Amino acid sequence: METENTLSVIIPVYNAKPELLERCIISIVEGININREMIVIDDGSDKIKSKEYKNICDNYGGHYFRQENQGVSCARNQGICLAQGNIIMFADADDRIIKADYSGWIHWMIENQVDVLSGCLCKKYGDGRTEEKRIHKEGVLFFYKNEDLIQLILTRNHYDYPELKDVEIAGPCCKLIKKSMLGQTKFPSDIRIGEDMVFNLELLKKNARYVLVNELWYEYYISCETAMNKYYTGLEERYFASINRIAGMDLTKTEEEYLACRALYHYIKIIKIYVSHKKKEADACISFIKKMSCKEELRQCWKRIKLRKCTLETKYKIALALTKSRQNYLLYQMIKLSINKENKRSRE
């Protein structure tokens, strides 16, 4: 039974430091000015940490639930099932909620029949750097068509909307979501990279009314080893699982072209990970390039993408050209050089 004007904050946790979870919960207690419940889903952490998580929840009035390790998507889905509030918010255990007038925003959502209200976030890096991801335009509320947001999520191209260049749209956090809008929409438990993107696209394809708020609501911590930069066994399958799931949606022809652009982004991302982790030096990278060069969907990507419209970084364009001409080893060296330059800039 949903409780009217109650915010359910869902926090999945897996072997995070207990002090980080406590910091996250304190930020919720101090920063949210509306009836709220905190639901911590422990995704099979070790027993010592699990005991500490439960004590933290007891101390701050949170609800603690433990499940066998099934992944963050299953943990979030379990939280949705348990949520009693009519509005859902997701937070990760190592992040913080930023204080705002959530009571006022939820009231505005309901009055204006808005399904998803998305704030802005501040990225905080392990080396102490911070980066605010605000909308680069005067104003507080921004309205876009769903097809425009779908384009932004899939292409990562802000050619038509430069004010959204730094705004994170595809993630699950930093959003107020009506529980009634979710229905059967859940996070895909069989996808480990890009599951957030799939979740948001399914909401947009359901015609959820989606509004952006130019206000910081969330502090997102980024360690050096994020999921998007790690080397995994079956790397290609993990990255392209989300592409395959989206391809199964009821896409328009234009959205299919956007998806082709996203596939190219994943393709280059995989190559960069191979290079940066030096997995058997160039061999694994070149093997992947040769394999993917033969796949029909990648050939279709090259035909569909208008590089003038897609403001991809120069190295992506070079990678595209070199792969098409089968200059595999040169591609490897080019990406290796670009990674070295990025690392040098981050140290400066």
- Return the pLDDT at 306: 42
Between 75-84, 156-165, 259-268, 301-310, the lowest mean confidence (pLDDT) is in: 301-310
306 CB-contact burial (10 Å; exposed 0-12 / middle 13-18 / buried 19+): exposed
* Residue position matching structure tokens 């730094």: 166
- Return the pLDDT at 222: 83
- Return the pLDDT at 243: 84
Considering only CA atoms, which of 277, 336, 267 is closest in space to residue 298?
Answer: 267
Name residue 159's amino acid: Y
- Return the pLDDT at 308: 38
Task: Give the mean model confidence (pLDDT) for residues 83-112.
Answer: 96
Q: For residue 12, what are the β-bridge partners?
A: 41
Query: Does the pLDDT of residue 65 top 60, yes or no?
Result: yes
Is the Cβ–Cβ distance between 285 and 274 less than 8 Å? yes
Three-class SS state of 32: strand
Query: Does the pLDDT of residue 4 top 90, yes or no?
Result: no
Q: For residue 123, what are the β-bridge partners?
A: 131, 220
Q: How many CA atoms lie within 13 A of 263 on its CB side?
A: 27
Considering only CA atoms, which of 43, 45, 40 is closest in space to residue 17?
Answer: 45
Q: For residue 133, what are the β-bridge partners?
A: 121
Q: 3-222, superfamily in CATH? A: Spore Coat Polysaccharide Biosynthesis Protein SpsA; Chain A (3.90.550.10)
Strand pairing report for 210-222 and 96-97: antiparallel
Q: How many CA atoms lie within 13 A of 131 on its CB side?
A: 13
177-204 pLDDT tens trace: 999 999 889 999 999 889 999 999 999 9
Residues of the chain with CATH 3.90.550.10: 3-222
The C-alpha angle 260, 263, 268, rounded to 5 degrees, equals 130
Distance CA 176, CA 164 (A): 19
Question: What is the number of other CB atoms lying within 10 angstroms of the CB of residue 347?
Answer: 7
102-118 pLDDT tens trace: 999 999 999 999 999 99
Distance CA 17, CA 222 (A): 15
Query: Does the pLDDT of residue 237 top 90, yes or no?
Result: no
